[in-house]
Structure 1
Amino acid sequence: MFEFAKTFFSIIGDSNVNKQQQKKLYFVCGNEAADLDSIIAATVYSYLSQQLIAPNESTTSSLYFPIIQIPRSDLYLRPECSYVFNQCNFSALDISQLLFLDDVSPHLNQLSSKNYDVNLILVDHNKLISPWDEKFNDKIVAILDHHSDEKLYPYLNDKCRQIETVGSATSLVVLHFKNDWEKKISRDDDENSWYAKLAKLLLAPILVDTILLDESKNRVTNKDREATQFLLNVLKIPISTRENFTSKYFEEIQNVKLDVTHFSNIDLLRKDYKEWDLNTYKIGVSSVYWFLEGWINREDDDINKLIDSFKSFSIKMKLDIFIIMMAYNHKDKGFKREFVFLSKDDKDNIFIRDKFTQQLEKKLQLKRKSLTTNVDHIKFYNQEDNSISRKQLFPLVNELIFTTNL
């Protein structure tokens, strides 16, 4: 079904310059965390564009490629992604046809030449990241995202710049193609084999990111609901069984996603990681689906072993501030969050650390944990405001950095 890698490498290896100039190449880039939402949004945006949009073009030949912004070898850190693709009847060959960062990055110099008509579409983020930002900042033609708007690329009009605080970026992808997909369904005498496969694939990140469309979690919007209902219609799930179908699918994905105890400490920290360069500070944030007590227990009940891993990762990434946001389901108390703050260990950072954490404690309702450590530049908290995930954290941190003279 997918032939992204096959097509890409045939273009890269073709020396016929005139032939390449006749093609418009669209790279649909997910974000650097490469979670379920980002991977599926980029993949399906590319496939639906090729199926529904490209055939209607009369003068150019457009080709769409999803870019998964991690090395191919790191996909194992996201077992829920492989699980969902398998559940939707995509083969290992299909997954091998996805394009990863290490597939494309060796060819960026070649692609930046005048021989190629390269265009970028950003999904699940709205600021171009490395290594693309070195040569392709003026090549962005569209954005579909649900994070805080960094207000870049003002040359894009509203139609090409869709940034909305929906629960899942995949919902925006679904609604972007909904009308064209419905028209194709109405025209086709026989149902295309990819309809149900893609619909179930798209449904997964929407259910996960909105926590099963749960109103109480303050994540779901009307657009997420609209996208979900459309996909369930495509899947032809009877209304009477939809709740059971979505609940079962969600629980299966969560069980795979939350089984993280076999990963090393460093793998857990880099599994779902993002960086922000704000003012003169480099801030890294890891999202980890585990609880602190269980993590410490795995380290022979020695919290300092765990701290050593945090410090090692922070130093490797050259961070000024390292934040670990932990989330888990408590058997009695339900969904809970924990928060770890680690700053660079130097005297110049003491004032920054204290001033910054004081403000964060108020914003996130952080309650200090009573843990004995041999490090004074790390703090552990219970996060009382469960509604704030990393997506909501960015605008708060951005505001603190620029308004408190850090």
Structure 2
Amino acid sequence: FFRHDVLVTNSLHKIAIFGQRVPDKLVVEPSFGAMDGVNNFLRCKRQHLQGKPVFVLGNEAADLDSCVCAITYAYLEYHLHGLQTVPVINIPRSEFIFRSEVVWLFDHLGISVPDLTFIDEVPLHDYCEDGKGRILLVDHNKLAVKQQHLSPMVYGIIDHHVDEQMHVDTCTHRREISLVGSAATLVVEAFTESDVGQALASNDMAYLLLAPILVDTVNLDPAFHKVTPRDEAAAQFLSSRHARDEDAGRLLFDTLQKEKYNTARLSIDDSLRKDYKAFKFGAHNVGIASVLDSIDDLIAKDAAGFHAICDDFADRQEVVGLVIMCAYFEGGDGGDFKRQLIIVQPPKANYDAAAAVFQTLTSSLEGNEGEELAVTVLNPNISGLLPSQAVRFYSQGNTAFSRKKLTPLVGTWFA
């Protein structure tokens, strides 16, 4: 069997892994690295879209498990059955930066993000209407509400959630739904079912597949009641094939946990977009963004442009007030948990409305109404930050007040 990046030869002998016969010796002769092969495969999407594409669609959360499963299972089906697969990350490309641990892993392994396909870049409904395209679902077994019209296209599922009994009649290719810790475990089992798959699941591909299994099972720790024997077997199989030392799994898990909360790659605008909600207080639309940075670290991303960035963000969101809730650990992991607040009066907004909202928010925080939050006015001395009467900074002594608790309190200030 030959495809553009791998030649497989083997001699078989009887070793049981996942109940399958596996090779005694696999000789993989790639013309380049495993991720080069994946990247070349990703670049095939243009040709695949012109034929009879099979979209391998992850779920709308687009977490590590979903993204990795979409890519790896699509890659397997392309090699194994010659399907014109196109892995689809089920979020807009602009939101991918928020999946910090996925961004790190793909960068670490050299997966070409520009060559990935995101849900806003391919008109799945057109392929549904034409009857040319098909869908393999990974990491979910029921299409999202806004994607229900694609149901006739679903002809395969690999998932580890409760079976919703959907797409039963259309799944003629494969329907594997099992309550294991990670969908990647089921994808690994699919790789082990053939000599070709086992040859592909080596080196960086094995490392890539191992990542979501470790994350979803909390590093295979039985104390968290997430890991199953199948997850353990999959992890053991992958660990024997990624050519890294015995501590690699633990280091990978620790790094992914750390990267999940790494905001270094986020701009100020990214930080505001990542966890943002809009509310109506009285007659006014006010936005509240939760960010995982201190005031100093957030503004230091672009101190000179901070005010303009907040103004442009508020203008796009059509709000007359903007609250930024900062949450962080002082000194990094292991330090004390802290909260801070920034109140912004957007200059592009209706001035009277924006001024009224700003006045209500700041006077309430600094008066008896905000006593429960235990705020203290801050005057950050950040190089490049221009002085402004339209921005106020606070430390929040009562760290129990998350956005969920703050919102109803703020509502009373406008009643």
Q: Are 2:158 and 1:158 aligned? A: no
Distance 2:228 2:77 in 1: 23
Say which of 187, 192, 199 aligns to 1:192: 199
The alpha-carbon distance between structure 1 residues 254 and 329, as it changes in their structure 2 partners (threshold 3 A), is farther
Q: Is the 8 A contact 1:185 1:191 kept in 2?
A: yes
Q: Are 2:89 and 1:13 aligned? A: no
What is the CA-CA distance between 1:399 and the residue it aligns to? 9.7
The one-letter amino acid of 1:69's match is I
Distance 2:394 2:275 in 1: 19
The one-letter amino acid of 1:327's match is Y
Q: Are 2:389 and 1:374 aligned? A: yes
The one-letter amino acid of 2:46's match is F
Q: Which residue of 1 aligns with 2:337?
A: 336
Deviations 1:110-135 (A, max 9, x none): 335334445585869x9959xxx4xx
Q: Which residue of 2 aligns with 1:222?
A: 225
Q: Is the 8 A contact 2:54 2:84 kept in 1?
A: yes
Q: Which residue of 2 aligns with 1:85?
A: 106
What is the CA-CA distance between 1:267 and the residue it aligns to? 4.2
Q: Is the 8 A contact 1:292 1:338 kept in 2?
A: no
Q: Which residue of 2 aligns with 1:67?
A: 89
The alpha-carbon distance between structure 1 residues 201 and 332, as it changes in their structure 2 partners (threshold 3 A), is closer
- In our comparison, the structure showing a higher alpha carbon Rg is 2
The one-letter amino acid of 2:252's match is Y
Deviations 1:358-397 (A, max 9, x none): 9xxxxxx9553433573489876367349x7x9xx6xx89
Q: How does 1:329-368 map to 2 (within 5 A)?
A: 330=331, 334=335, 336-338=337-339, 340=341, 346=353, 367-368=374-375
What SS does the aligned partner of 1:370 have? strand
The one-letter amino acid of 2:58's match is V
Distance 2:143 2:319 in 1: 20
Q: Is the 8 A contact 1:284 1:322 kept in 2?
A: yes
The alpha-carbon distance between structure 1 residues 397 and 209, as it changes in their structure 2 partners (threshold 3 A), is farther
Q: Which residue of 1 aligns with 2:313?
A: 313
Q: Which residue of 2 aligns with 1:139?
A: 150
The one-letter amino acid of 1:100's match is F
What SS does the aligned partner of 1:223 have? coil
Q: Which residue of 2 aligns with 1:45?
A: 70
Q: Are 2:399 and 1:384 aligned? A: yes
The alpha-carbon distance between structure 1 residues 48 and 397, as it changes in their structure 2 partners (threshold 3 A), is farther
Distance 1:103 1:400 in 2: 41
Say which of 107, 113, 129 aligns to 2:129: 113
Q: Is the 8 A contact 1:25 1:118 kept in 2?
A: yes
The one-letter amino acid of 1:192's match is A
What is the CA-CA distance between 1:99 and the residue it aligns to? 0.9
- The structure where helix makes up a greater share of residues is 1
Q: Is the 8 A contact 2:188 2:234 kept in 1?
A: no
Show structure 1 runs of 5+ residues with no match: 15-19, 147-155, 162-170, 359-364
Q: Is the 8 A contact 1:278 1:398 kept in 2?
A: no
Q: Is the 8 A contact 2:180 2:228 kept in 1?
A: no
What SS does the aligned partner of 1:269 have? helix
Q: Is the 8 A contact 2:330 2:337 kept in 1?
A: yes
The alpha-carbon distance between structure 1 residues 277 and 205, as it changes in their structure 2 partners (threshold 3 A), is farther
**Which of structures 1 and 2 has the larger relative contact order (alpha carbons within 8 angstroms, sep 6+)?**
1
Q: Give the alignment's TM-score, normalised by structure 1.
A: 0.54
What SS does the aligned partner of 1:139 have? helix
Give % identity.
17
The one-letter amino acid of 1:27's match is L
Distance 2:314 2:42 in 1: 34
Q: Which residue of 1 aligns with 2:239?
A: 236
The alpha-carbon distance between structure 1 residues 400 and 385, as it changes in their structure 2 partners (threshold 3 A), is closer
Q: Which residue of 2 aligns with 1:28?
A: 58
Deviations 1:65-117 (A, max 9, x none): 22263437x867877545423544x454xx4542135642xx45633533444
The one-letter amino acid of 2:200's match is S
What SS does the aligned partner of 2:182 have? helix
Distance 1:179 1:333 in 2: 35
Distance 2:398 2:133 in 1: 47
What is the CA-CA distance between 1:311 and the residue it aligns to? 3.7
Q: Is the 8 A contact 1:30 1:123 kept in 2?
A: no
Computed over aligned residues only, the root mean square deviation of the Cα atoms, in angstroms, reads 6.1
Distance 2:230 2:338 in 1: 28
What is the CA-CA distance between 1:52 and the residue it aligns to? 7.0
Distance 2:196 2:46 in 1: 34
What is the CA-CA distance between 1:64 and the residue it aligns to? 5.1
The alpha-carbon distance between structure 1 residues 184 and 332, as it changes in their structure 2 partners (threshold 3 A), is closer
Show structure 2 runs of 5+ residues with no match: 1-36, 168-177, 347-352, 366-371, 380-387
What SS does the aligned partner of 2:58 have? strand
The alpha-carbon distance between structure 1 residues 193 and 69, as it changes in their structure 2 partners (threshold 3 A), is same
Q: Which residue of 2 aligns with 1:150?
A: none
What is the CA-CA distance between 1:313 and the residue it aligns to? 1.4
What count of residue pairs does the alignment treat as equivalent? 337
